[in-house]
């Protein structure tokens, strides 16, 4: 089939027009999709701003400064509370040996047992071991690695 020169030109123009129309359609679809995503993102940002503005603390420089001031005040109170609590800590002796600790424990337990109180005129009944039966009434010696803990416990009991 032989096409005339006019038909060839018209077919070429039609093909170019078809390709241009397809490209234009793609660009319109892409722009519409991008616009939809941008609108969704904008709405999300607006919702975030509205939520922040309705909150108890407004998102401005003054609120940030007040927050930092309150955090510093809380930090100061925390340090003061820890210092007050630490003042009641009792130091334990590092250089005490198990025999010396047991001797001190037995001696102080005997002294405490002699204090006046409501159990037959004493503070505790006869033979009371103050929670340390193996050491006060028994013949065991404490293990060296347990001495710091035992000293702390005995200090609490004695106090």
pTM, entire model: 0.44
> Cα–chain-centroid distance for residue 48?
26
Return phi, psi of residue 92, to 5°: -105, 150
How many Å apart are CA 99 and CA 103, to the nearest integer? 6
Cβ neighbors of 105 (< 8 A, separation 6 or more) are 132, 135, 136, 154
Question: With contact defined as beta carbons under 8 Å apart, do 78 and 111 qualify?
Answer: no
Q: What is the pLDDT of residues 133-154, one digit of tens each?
A: 888 888 889 988 888 888 888 8
Question: With contact defined as beta carbons under 8 Å apart, do 123 and 117 qualify?
Answer: yes
Q: Name the residue ranges covered by the structural domains of the chain.
A: 5-75, 98-158
Question: Apex CA 90: angle with CA 155 and CA 116, to 5°?
Answer: 35
Q: What is the pLDDT of residues 106-141, one digit of tens each?
A: 999 999 888 888 888 888 888 888 889 888 888 889
């Amino acid at each position: 089939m032989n096409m005339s020169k006019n038909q060839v030109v018209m077919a070429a123009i039609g093909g170019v027009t078809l390709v241009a129309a397809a490209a234009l359609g793609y660009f319109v679809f892409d722009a519409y999709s991008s616009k939809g995503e941008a609108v969704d993102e904008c709405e999300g940002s607006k919702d975030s701003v509205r939520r922040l503005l309705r909150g108890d603390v407004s998102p401005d420089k003054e609120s940030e400064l007040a927050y930092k001031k309150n955090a510093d005040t809380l930090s100061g109170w925390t340090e003061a509370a820890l210092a007050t609590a630490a003042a009641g800590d009792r130091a334990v002796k590092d250089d005490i040996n198990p025999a010396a600790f047991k001797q001190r424990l037995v001696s102080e337990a005997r002294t405490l047992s002699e204090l006046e109180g409501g159990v037959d005129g004493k503070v505790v009944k006869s033979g009371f071991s103050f929670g340390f039966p193996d050491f006060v009434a028994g013949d065991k010696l404490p293990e060296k690695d347990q001495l710091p803990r035992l000293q702390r416990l005995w200090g609490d009991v004695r106090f």
